[in-house]
Structure 1
Amino acid sequence: MKPYHVCRIAVAPLRSEPSDRSEIVSTLLFGDRVLVLEKTEKWCFVKTHYDQYEGWMDHKQLQEITEAQYENEQQYQYLSAVNFDNRLVDEAGTVYYLSPGSTLPFYADGSCYLGDTKFEVKTSPFIPKPTEFYTQVEAVAKFFLNSPYLWGGRSFFGIDCSGFTQTVYKLCGVKLRRDASQQVEQGELVDFLASAKLGDLAFFDNEEGKITHVGLMLGNDKIIHSAGKVRIDPIDNQGIFNTELDRYTHQLRVIKRLN
């Protein structure tokens, strides 16, 4: 099995161990590239191209491509748009429904390709523009409102806190790492909550001081984040206050600005 592959289904779980019962640590979306590092009869251990994340997945969910196809960065710019109707149709007439932010490799003239396999793109993809980050980020984040929380999730079918921020930033043309503990290492420090602005990332820690949660600021007093579901809550210097529970749920550690 050659090492260069791309995800060929809408959503594919990445697991900590080679077992269907194993913890899902992240999710691949259609068009995500991976390097296969190890293979068993059913499973392969992969490293993702986008965020260098490692895990096990069912190799039947991957399409083999050439090294040249894998390395051609210019051909992985188009993403599925921020809507609920991102459809692909394969050569057999089967329909795929994609989550926003899925990659459409080698997109041209209404089609994309995984290796030599052609998919007709039924909706309009786009290339994110980082220069328009601040005009887009709020609407993109709010698109995911009420999406269910799912550990390891990166789609509107289920998304975790860092998967949410990573996906929103990707759709706005800015690359984030996968986990909250990795994302906190990026960007510039915002000294005070009062100085926070739309698009900043707020990070939260546990009693041991470990970063365990992240959300996207909608200003300096509201945050959108994935906790139970993607929701908007008030935030102050103590942290996130959940009005439904009438208590603070997350302790604020630091705020970072990445754009």
Structure 2
Amino acid sequence: MEGYHVCRISVAPLRKEPTDSSEIVSQLLFGDRVVVLEKAEKWCFVRTKHDHYEGWMDHKQLQALTALQYNDEASYKYLTALTFDNRLVDDAGTVYYLSPGSTLPFYENGYCYLGDHRFEVKTEPFIPNPSTFEAKVEATAKFFLNSPYLWGGRTFFGIDCSGFVQTVYKLLGLSLRRDASQQVEQGQLVDFLSSAKMGDLAFFDNEEGKITHVGMMLSNDQIIHSAGKVRIDPIDNQGIYNKELEKYTHKLRVIKRFV
């Protein structure tokens, strides 16, 4: 089972331990590549290609690739669009519904391929372009408004704070790491909240000083973030203020710029 693989279902949980009851630490989307590092019965321990994240998953959710197929970066450029209706149909006629930002390997002339398996792509895919970041970042982020919070989630139907900003950036052609504590090490420091602009990421810490939350600035006084659900809240130098709870919920630590 060792070697190169790709996720062959719409979304697959990546778990902390090799058991179905274990915590979900992240998710793989269709077309995400992994290297299998270890194998145990139905479980395998993998490292993702796109963000070097590690976890356990059910090997039946993977399709084997050759080293050549795995490393052919040019063949993983197309993504599913910002729409609710991203459909694939395999040669047996089975339909797969994909979340926005899923990868369509070896896409050409309306079809994508996983190993020897062919899928007809029913909705128009696209190649993200970082030069459109400023024009598209607001609409891309707001597409996920009211998506429920899900620890480890990366889809429209459940997403965590770092999964949310990672997915928004991926749809705009930019690569972020998986967790807020990793993402904060990327980007350029923005000195003052008053200098923050749309698309910057704000990071928040707990009492121990550990980064535990991230959100995306819409302006220098508004933030969109996943907390309970993807929502828009006011932010000031203290942090995020939740009007419903009438209190500050997250303490601001630092703001980073990536574009």
Verify same fold: TM over 0.5: yes
Alpha-carbon distance between aligned partners in 2 of 1:91 and 1:45, rounded to the nearest angstrom = 30
Cα distance between partner residues in 1 of 2:245 and 2:76? 43
SS at match of 1:231: strand
The structural deviation recorded for 1:154 is 0.5
In structure 2, the partner of 1:25 is: 25
Partner Cα separation in structure 1 for residue 156 and residue 162 of structure 2: 13
The residue aligned with 2:167 is: 167
Cα distance in 2 for residues equivalent to 1:7 and 1:126: 20
Please give the residue correspondences for 1:1-259 in structure 2 after superposition, counting only pairs within 5 Å.
1-259=1-259
| SS of residue paired to 1:124 | coil
SS of equivalent to 2:70 = helix
Distance in 1 between residues matched to 2:133 and 2:224, nearest whole Å = 16
Alpha-carbon contact 2:16-2:23 (below 8 Å) kept: yes
Provide the rounded CA distance (Å) in 2 between the counterparts of 1:245 and 1:94. Answer: 45
Partner of 2:105, secondary structure, is coil
Secondary structure in 1 matching 2:104: coil
Distance 2:229 2:216 in 1: 14
Q: Any conservation in 1 of the 2:80–2:100 contact (CA below 8 Å)?
A: yes
Matching residue's letter, 1:186: Q
Alpha-carbon distance in 1 for matches of 2:203, 2:2 = 39
Taking the aligned partners of 1:59 and 1:134, their CA distance within structure 2 comes to 39
Q: Which whole-Å CA distance do the structure 1 matches of 2:227 and 2:27 have between them?
A: 18
CA distance in 2, matches of 1:158, 1:15: 16
Where has structure 1 moved over 3 Å in runs of 4 or more?
none
Structure 2: runs of 5+ lacking an equivalent: none
8 Å Cα contact 1:76-1:105 kept in structure 2: yes
Residues in 1 aligned to 2:17 and 2:167: alpha-carbon distance in whole angstroms = 24
Aligned-pair CA distance for 1:217: 0.2
| Equivalent-residue separation in structure 1 for 2:222 and 2:10 (angstroms) | 32
Distance in 1 (alpha carbons) for counterparts of 2:254 and 2:194: 12
Distance 1:80 1:176 in 2: 18
Identity of aligned residues (%): 78
Verify the 8 A CA contact 2:2 2:39 in the aligned structure 1. no
Give the whole-Å Cα distance in 2 for the aligned partners of 1:224 and 1:130. 20
Deviation at 1:2, TM superposition (A): 4.0
Contact 1:2 1:64 in 2 (8 A): no
Given that 2:2 and 2:37 are in contact with CA atoms closer than 8 Å, whether structure 1 keeps it comes out as: no
Q: Distance in 2 between matches of 1:145 and 1:94?
A: 30
* d(CA) in 1 for partners of 2:252, 2:225: 13
Task: Report the number of matched residues.
Answer: 259
Contact 1:47–1:54, Cα closer than 8 Å, also in 2: yes
3-state DSSP class of the match of 1:103? coil
TM-score (norm 2): 0.99
| Letter of the 1:84 counterpart | F
Partner of 1:181, secondary structure, is helix
Cα deviation, 1:151-173, whole Å, max 9, x if unaligned, reads 00001110000000000000011
Relative to the length of structure 1, the TM-score reads 0.99
- Report the aligned-residue RMSD: 0.5
Cα deviation 1:104-138 (Å, max 9, x = unaligned): 00000000000110000000000000011010111
